[in-house]
């Protein structure tokens, strides 16, 4: 042992523990350090969970074949840890396999000697520090070792108590104690983040605020405990209606808020609202006396409603109260701002029909590059509307106009025809870059895309090599009708057109799509790339997508690359192709031609 010690503990080890502010790292450092001091093979932290459960938080040194046991849970009456919990003192077991405390799963690991010490918080034992030898120890722990283990165990117990306290305080600050849902603070935090993502991804989000009609009468008639039970029931029913990434919050009394992120069209919002109304249209009370329960809802949609976060909640709340004044049991869009926005959308829908004929629509171009070199390998075309009075509009601003059945078909014809013209022009000048075009949901539904493409090719004044044409299907759209998507993809590939699945990873069963759809490439959604430098989960998901793409023999393109740090991480993960503002923003053809020329 290092001669520089305090009570048997090496000074450098104590200093490392004292200076570590990250609680999770603290527990690992403490366990590994004491195992090293005792000459053991490994160490674990086993935490008491209510009411009668012990669970491994980690187990360093566990043989790799038994890694799954590092999060093992068992009854608190079992094992050496269970005996330590009961006796409230250090327990040493040699020849573990023959011990009455042996757990069969750990016998299989070859565990030979186990020393467990209680980790206390005040008078309570809240965890157990376990030291493990998988072969006979060179020496058994002595009295000095026991003092070391007890001291480290006490430090871990105090730290664990603090860890739990901080988590409870954080939960109280961000969650409603009655229903367990988010509270107003957490809802607002998530709303602000969702607004930034909606702008970046050119998507919608909805804020829905609702409360229970005549809730005061229910409380007065049946008592507050029954009213509280109703609120809990409402929260549980909501959980079954929304997607995993959506946020449910109780923001006051009987008032709830719902944040719907990553919405592509108004129809999605309407479907959720109708599900809420149906699910919460119930009878409530005692078996003998019941009342009909209904809800009033107010809705606002960002960025059509261009307000800030607080104003969005306020606007949805105002619309909800207007619904209540109108008799309740209904949903209303926010009146003032939304009425003006609705008028603008109606105007745009009417203008859109003539905009194509007036030449106001334009394709912008953004390169897809080899990340390491920046070399352009293909190009994505993106729609823009050069509106005579409102300037250049992105699709999010005129989505309602595009979704109109008449307009969507007309737009698809224009986009396909324009893409063929661009390819013909580029190929005539000796530029052979694959051009990607984005297909709307209607292209899947009306089965006319390939016929439209054939006609555009026939009408082209110059021959076009269709092997340099690609289409991008949004993953959400393919989910609605897998067979239609499969048919379209096969038909496109017959024409030599490649197919990419856009926004990959945002739909349910994304990996299933790789098996069911004969696509050529995937485009990893930019929401994952945005978090790659800060979120371990996003890095894991991206790596799994890259591995899946490689296993299926298809290309993977990372979208939304905006920093050198993101670029470096993607290269390290083996991602070859990417797209984003780091390389180029979307630009008109003349500017793009100057760049690639």
Residue 528 lies in a domain: yes
Tell which of 118, 145, 172 closes a domain: 172
For residue 201, what is the domain's CATH number? 3.30.70.270
Q: 316 and 395 share a domain?
A: no
- State the residue range of the domain holding 425: 352-596
Q: 414 and 525 share a domain?
A: yes
494: left (phi over 0), alpha (psi -120 to 50) or beta: alpha
For residue 66, what is the domain's CATH number? 3.30.450.40
Residue 345 lies in a domain: no
Alpha helices in 175-255 (DSSP H): 184-201, 215-222, 224-239
Q: 530 and 468 share a domain?
A: yes
Residue 358 lies in a domain: yes
Torsion angle (degrees, nearest 10) of CA 437, 443, 447, 448: -60
pLDDT band for position 481 (cuts 50, 70, 90): low
Q: 155 and 255 share a domain?
A: no
pLDDT at 101: 94
> Closest Cα to residue 97, out of 115, 111, 77?
111
Tell which of 120, 146, 172 closes a domain: 172
Alpha helices in 113-181 (DSSP H): 143-174
> pLDDT tens for residues 517-537?
888 999 998 888 988 998 888
Q: 28 and 59 share a domain?
A: yes
Q: 215 and 162 share a domain?
A: no
Q: 10 and 134 share a domain?
A: yes
Distance from C-alpha of 102 to C-alpha of 94, rounded to nearest angstrom: 11
pLDDT at 8: 53
Alpha helices in 362-404 (DSSP H): 399-403
Q: 586 and 440 share a domain?
A: yes
> How many Cα atoms within 13 Å fall on the side-chain side of residue 476?
12
Residue in the structure block whose two tokens are 């006396």: 289
Distance from C-alpha of 594 to C-alpha of 592, rounded to nearest angstrom: 5
Residue 343 lies in a domain: no
Q: How many domains does the chain have?
A: 3
Q: Give the lowest-confidence range in 231-245, 363-377, 501-515.
A: 501-515
> pLDDT tens for residues 539-564?
999 999 999 899 999 999 999 999 99
Q: Give the lowest-confidence range in 204-213, 287-296, 308-317.
A: 287-296
pLDDT at 3: 47
Distance from C-alpha of 577 to C-alpha of 558, rounded to nearest angstrom: 6
Mean pLDDT of the chain: 85
Distance from C-alpha of 244 to C-alpha of 247, rounded to nearest angstrom: 8
Q: 373 and 494 share a domain?
A: yes
Q: 164 and 265 share a domain?
A: no
SS3 292: strand
> Closest Cα to residue 131, out of 196, 44, 246, 39?
44
Distance from C-alpha of 460 to C-alpha of 458, rounded to nearest angstrom: 6
Residue 179 lies in a domain: no
Tell which of 172, 192, 209 closes a domain: 172
User: Tokens in use for 21?
Assistant: 């502010």
The reported pTM is: 0.49
Residue 208 lies in a domain: yes
Q: Does pLDDT of 597 surpass 80?
A: no
**Under 8 Å between Cβ of 99 and 93:** yes
Task: Name 75's Cβ contacts closer than 8 Å, sequence gap at least 6.
Answer: 52, 53, 54, 82
Q: Does pLDDT of 587 surpass 50?
A: yes
Sheet with 42-49, strands from edge to edge, namely 73-75, 53-60, 42-49, 124-133, 113-121, 91-93
Residue 277 lies in a domain: yes
> pLDDT tens for residues 30-67?
999 999 989 999 999 999 987 899 999 999 999 999 98
Q: Give the lowest-confidence range in 77-81, 314-318, 438-442, 577-581.
A: 438-442
SS3 93: strand
Q: 27 and 143 share a domain?
A: yes
User: Tokens in use for 67?
Assistant: 């890694």
**Preceding peptide of 51 cis, ω within 30°:** yes
Tell how far CA 269 is from the center of its chain: 19
> How many Cα atoms within 13 Å fall on the side-chain side of residue 555?
19
**Under 8 Å between Cβ of 502 and 474:** yes
> pLDDT tens for residues 185-195?
888 889 998 99
Q: 224 and 106 share a domain?
A: no
Residue in the structure block whose two tokens are 């050529």: 520
pLDDT band for position 336 (cuts 50, 70, 90): low
Give me the phi and psi of 375, to 5 degrees please: -70, 135
Sign of the Cα torsion 501, 505, 506, 512 reads positive
For residue 494, what is the domain's CATH number? 3.20.20.450
Residue 340 lies in a domain: no
């Amino acid at each position: 042992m290092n001669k520089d010690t305090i009570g048997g503990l090496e000074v450098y080890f104590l200093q490392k523990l004292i200076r570590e502010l990250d609680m999770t790292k603290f527990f690992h450092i403490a366990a590994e350090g004491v195992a090293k001091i005792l000459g053991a093979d490994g160490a674990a932290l086993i935490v008491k969970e209510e009411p009668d459960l012990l669970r491994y938080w980690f187990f360093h040194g566990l043989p790799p074949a038994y890694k799954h046991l590092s999060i093992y849970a068992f009854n608190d009456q079992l094992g050496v840890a269970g005996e330590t919990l009961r006796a409230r003192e250090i327990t040493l077991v040699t020849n573990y396999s023959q011990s009455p405390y042996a757990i069969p799963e750990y016998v299989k690991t070859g565990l030979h000697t186990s020393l467990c010490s209680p980790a206390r918080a005040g008078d309570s034992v809240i965890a157990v520090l376990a030291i493990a030898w998988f072969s006979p120890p060179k020496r058994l722990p002595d009295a000095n070792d026991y003092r070391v283990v007890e001291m480290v165990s006490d430090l871990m117990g105090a730290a664990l108590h603090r860890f739990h306290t901080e988590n409870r305080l954080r939960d109280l600050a961000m969650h409603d104690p009655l229903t367990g849902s988010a509270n107003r603070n957490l809802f607002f935090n998530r709303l602000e983040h969702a607004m930034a993502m909606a702008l970046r991804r050119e998507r919608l989000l909805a804020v829905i605020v609702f409360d229970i009609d005549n809730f005061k009468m229910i409380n007065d008639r049946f008592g507050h405990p029954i009213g509280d039970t109703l609120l809990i029931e409402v929260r549980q029913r909501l959980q079954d209606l929304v997607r995993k990434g959506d946020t449910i919050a109780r923001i006051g009394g009987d008032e709830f808020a719902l944040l719907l992120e990553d919405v592509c069209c108004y129809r999605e919002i309407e479907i959720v609202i109708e599900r809420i109304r149906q699910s919460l249209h119930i009878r409530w009370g005692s078996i003998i006396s019941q009342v009909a329960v209904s809800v009033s809802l107010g809705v606002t949609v960002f960025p059509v409603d261009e307000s800030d976060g607080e104003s969005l909640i306020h606007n949805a709340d105002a619309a909800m109260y207007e619904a209540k004044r109108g008799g309740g049991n209904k949903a209303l869009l926010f009146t003032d701002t939304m009425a003006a926005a609705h008028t603008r959308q109606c105007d745009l829908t009417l203008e859109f029909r003539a905009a194509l004929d007036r030449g106001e629509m334009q394709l912008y171009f953004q390169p897809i590059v080899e990340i390491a070199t920046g070399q352009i390998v293909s190009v994505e075309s993106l729609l823009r509307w050069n509106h005579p009075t409102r300037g250049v509009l992105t699709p999010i601003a005129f989505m309602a106009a595009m979704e109109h059945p008449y307009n969507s078909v007309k737009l698809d014809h224009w986009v396909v025809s324009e893409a063929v013209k661009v390819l013909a022009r580029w190929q005539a000048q000796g530029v052979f870059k694959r051009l990607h075009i984005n297909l709307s949901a209607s292209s899947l539904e009306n089965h006319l895309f390939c016929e439209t493409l054939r006609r555009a090719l026939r009408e082209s004044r110059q021959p076009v090599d269709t092997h340099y044409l690609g289409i991008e299907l949004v993953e959400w759209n393919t989910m609605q009708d897998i067979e239609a998507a499969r048919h379209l993809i096969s038909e496109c590939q017959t024409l030599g057109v490649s197919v990419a699945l856009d926004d990959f990873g945002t739909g349910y069963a994304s990996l299933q799509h790789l098996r069911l759809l004969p696509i050529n490439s995937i485009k990893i959604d930019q929401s994952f790339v945005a978090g790659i430098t800060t979120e371990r989960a996003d890095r894991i998901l991206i790596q799994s997508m890259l591995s899946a793409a490689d296993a299926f023999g298809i290309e993977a393109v990372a979208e939304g690359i905006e920093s050198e740090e993101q670029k470096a991480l993607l290269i390290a993960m083996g991602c070859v192709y990417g797209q984003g503002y780091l390389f180029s923003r979307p630009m008109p053809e003349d500017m793009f031609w100057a760049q690639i020329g």
